[in-house]
Amino acid sequence: MSYTTDLVKNVSLAGHGGTGKTSLFERLLFAGGVIPKPETIESGKTVSDSSPEEIERKISIYTALGHVEWKGKKINIFDTPGSSDFVGEVISALRATELCIAVVDGRAGVQIETLKLWRTLNSRGKPRGIYITKMDDDRSDFEAVLEDIKEKLKIDPFPFFLPMGKGSSYRGVIDVLNERAYFVQEGGLEKEGPIPAEYQDQVRAMRERLIEAAAEGDDTLMEHYVDKGSLDAEEMHLGLIEALAEHKYVPVFCGSALKNSGIIPFIDIMADIAPDPRTARDLVQETSGEEREVEIDPNKPFAGLVVKTVFDQFSGKLSWVKVFEGKLSADSEILNVRENKKERIGKLYLCQGKKLEEVRELYAGDVGIITKVTSLHTNDSITDPVNPLLFVPLKLPEPVHMVAVHAAQKKDEDKLGEFLLRATEEDKTLRYEYNTETKEAIIGGMGELHIAIVLDKIRNNQKIEIETRPPRVAYRETITKKANAEYTHKKQTGGHGQYARVVLDIEPLPRGENYKFINAIFGGAISKGYIPGVEKGVLEAMQHGVMAGYPVVDVQVTVVDGKEHPVDSSELAFKLAARNAFKEAMKKASPTLLEPIMNLTVFVEEKYLGDIMSDLSGKRGKILGQNSIGGGIEEIRAQVPQAELLRYSIDLRSMTSGTGSFSVEFDHYAPISGKIAEEVIKAAEAFRVQESEE
């Protein structure tokens, strides 16, 4: 069944790993009649965690999409992974939804991934709510978590639910908005009933606060509230819808998924007040490069964005599409704006986890699946041919962990490359490329776990033996003083020979200026026609320095003299002479190695600050500064040699019990000498020997 825009709601569940997102998702589908009974994570049978790698590791790795029909509305629910290694899955879900529910553990409160999610939501201006889980646990404390939310997220939350008891005395939740209690029923769905007398006063006070939130909806409601001191039920309902869509308050819900508690009233409220897709805005890019906002509008020609790509062994390539304008119909023609290519699509589907349900149309605001259109990729804009909008692509973080990868058997190299490229199409936070300088295939991702799962999946499914190692660092060589050298290339083999003499001066340039070539020949010692050959020879020589064979940078080369032969000279001869002259000059110019220095930003809990600082100093790092970003989280900025960061995602995870995170980007090259340089030269020589043996 297809749903028009006014009947669609889109909600994503996100937050720290282990908070109960998948259990909540499973119970929402159960309450909505989608599945006959809810399964546990341990069973390996949940709708969300259905892949072999998720079942084996008992964590969410991929975003799952399901929907429930409630009060005539279709509520799309995205269940996202909690580990920072899979942040790309979260970002694609946020792009497709108008409301994010941050799921918070009722025992642990706000954790670091919650804080990082909150920063992401703030940067996007995304409406959001909070769901506090595990209220039946003896260690859960609703009031303490509310205080934690206030302190760490810097907000004043508005509780919509009130738990009745906790631990073994937990009885259910009270829906403050609708003034109804929902009691736990052993093994089944919760049962509605009157609010117990002991909670009446507390509920009344909490409901007054919700009226205050509703009054923020618009100026008219605020005037009514000021004049009357309250709002009627209809005004309150309208105000809560409008204020939530504009992110003027943060609703808080709670419950216990394993007891099916706090589920029915949550779906009720989502159906009532979750933002209408038409309140959302997205960005498109003009041909000028400027960005502008567009509304979700069912009355315009079709336009949508591919937010996710999945390769299914039975259904083939699945493209998840968020429809922003008009409607997408089965058996219709669309334009792939990136390729400016028209495509005929066949069937359209909705999904419940891995199960596909065929539909005829997808209306603006909805999310569905196109199958088997091989040209479609994540971030592709697809539109009616008369409406070629180009949506701004998903904003994704850069990889922080890299490994060099190759197949143990040479015959498997092409096959391995094919499946690694496919993995990067499914997950845009992955990078796969061949580094021509270090002669390695490199895969980069958001952490060790991220890459390990990708490689294990290929190993298991394709039966390829894969070997990995830390990638080689792309060092550079340069000079530290001026030098001069000459070289005469002379070869006589009968008939025309080869002759060229080149004299070069070289001197260091400031870091980052790379290369400068000057022709200082006067009097025609070398004809102008041979000067390009001289420069080609210099550039070739700079590809492999004299210390460890790394590229040479930041050198000025001046051709000061030379000699040619009227018959035997050629551009090739001058290229060879210049190449050797440069090498000789470089040996005299006190060459040195340069290593890449990275800008590193680390986010850690305050209690780990000393350990991180000490570790960075041990990694030859230079601390640039630190500051508190709230919630007990410290930001540390440093510059650290790349060679020291090849395993930093592993080191940081170990030092912070998996709570720390970081970003890294190249800044500049800096000299190295002594034992460190000796080790780099030794490793480069060993690599050349290995290459020659292969």
Q: Tell whether the model's pLDDT for residue 689 goes beyond 80.
A: no
CA angle 412, 417, 420 (to 5 degrees): 125
Which DSSP state fits 586? H
More confident residue, 168 or 599: 599
Angle value at C-alpha 426, between 425 and 429, nearest 5 degrees: 80
The amino acid present at 102, given as its one-letter code, is A
Does 273 have pLDDT greater than 90?
yes
Of 4-13, 23-32, 78-87, the poorest mean pLDDT is in 78-87
Mean pLDDT of 612-617: 95
The pLDDT of residue 515: 94
Residue 240 is given by DSSP the state: H
pTM assigned to the model:
0.84
Percent of the chain clearing pLDDT 70 (strictly above): 99
Question: Residue 478 pLDDT more than 80?
Answer: yes
Q: 257, 133 in Cβ contact below 8 A?
A: yes
Reply yes or no on whether the pLDDT at 486 is more than 80. yes
- Token readout for 187 is 């093994």
Range from 89-103, 133-147, 559-573 carrying the lowest mean pLDDT = 559-573
What confidence category does residue 519 fall into, taking pLDDT thresholds of 50, 70 and 90? very high
Q: What is the pLDDT of residue 493?
A: 67
Alpha helix (H) residue ranges in 427-567: 448-462, 531-542
User: Residue 493's CB: how many other CB atoms inside 10 A?
Assistant: 7
**CA-based nearest residue to 262, from 172, 179, 194:** 172
Q: In this predicted model, what pLDDT tens digit does every residue of 652-662 receive, in sequence order? A: 989 998 778 88
Q: With bands split at pLDDT 50, 70 and 90, how would you rate the model's confidence at 633?
A: confident
Average the pLDDT over 460-489 and give the result: 93
Q: Is the pLDDT of residue 694 over 60?
A: no
Per DSSP, the chain holds a count of helices (H) and strands (E) of 16, 36
CA distances to 309, 320, 536, 537 from 246, rounded to whole Å, are 30, 26, 61, 63
Q: Is the pLDDT of residue 358 over 60?
A: yes
Using one digit for the tens of pLDDT, what is the confidence trace for 382-412? 999 998 999 999 888 888 899 999 999 989 9
Lowest mean pLDDT segment, chosen from 212-216, 300-304, 480-484, 559-563: 212-216
* Sequential DSSP letters for 13-82: EE-STTSSHHHHHHHHHHHTTSSSS---GGGT--SSS-SHHHHHHTS--S-EEEEEEETTEEEEEEE---
pLDDT of residue 692: 64
Residue 687 above 90 pLDDT?
A: no
The mean predicted confidence, pLDDT, of the chain is 91
Q: Which amino acid is at 22?
A: T
For 388-447, give the secondary structure using H, E and C. Answer: CCCECCCCCCCCCEEEEEEECCHHHHHHHHHHHHHHHHHCCCCEEEEECCCCEEEEEECC
Q: What is the pLDDT averaged over residues 250-267?
A: 96
Amino acid at 369: I
497 closest CA partner among 567, 552, 402: 567
Question: What pLDDT is attached to residue 510?
Answer: 93
Residue 615 has pLDDT above 90, yes or no: yes
Residues 500-528 have a mean pLDDT of: 92
Predicted pLDDT at 507:
96
pLDDT at 229 over 80: no
Interior/surface letters 422-437, b for 16+ CB within 10 angstroms, e for the rest: ebbbbbbbbebeeeee
The answer on pLDDT for 618 being more than 80 is yes
pLDDT band at 315 (very low <50, low <70, confident <90, very high): confident
Query: b or e along 163-181 (b: 16 or more beta carbons within 10 Å of the residue's beta carbon)?
Result: bbebeeebbbbbbbbeebb
Average the pLDDT over each of 219-233, 347-361, 426-440 and give the range with the smallest value. Answer: 219-233
How far is residue 694's CA from residue 684's CA, in Å, rounded to a whole number?
15
For range 636-651, the mean pLDDT: 94
pLDDT of residue 191: 96
pLDDT(605) > 90 = no
Show the tokens assigned to 231: 């709002």
* pLDDT value for 56: 83
640 has which bridge partners? 598
The confidence score (pLDDT) of residue 691 equals 66
Q: What is the pLDDT of residue 632?
A: 76
pLDDT at 552 exceeding the cut of 90: yes
Map out the domains of the chain with their CATH numbers. 5-195+250-279 (3.40.50.300), 196-248 (no CATH), 281-383 (2.40.30.10), 401-469 (3.30.70.870), 477-589 (3.30.230.10), 594-676 (3.30.70.240)
pLDDT score for 494: 63
Percent above pLDDT 90 for the chain: 68
Q: What is the rounded average pLDDT of the residues 249-253?
A: 96
Predicted confidence band of residue 668 (pLDDT cuts 50, 70, 90): very high
In this model, does residue 547 exceed pLDDT 70?
Answer: yes
pLDDT exceeds 60 at position 267: yes
Output the CA angle 609-613-615, nearest 5 degrees: 115
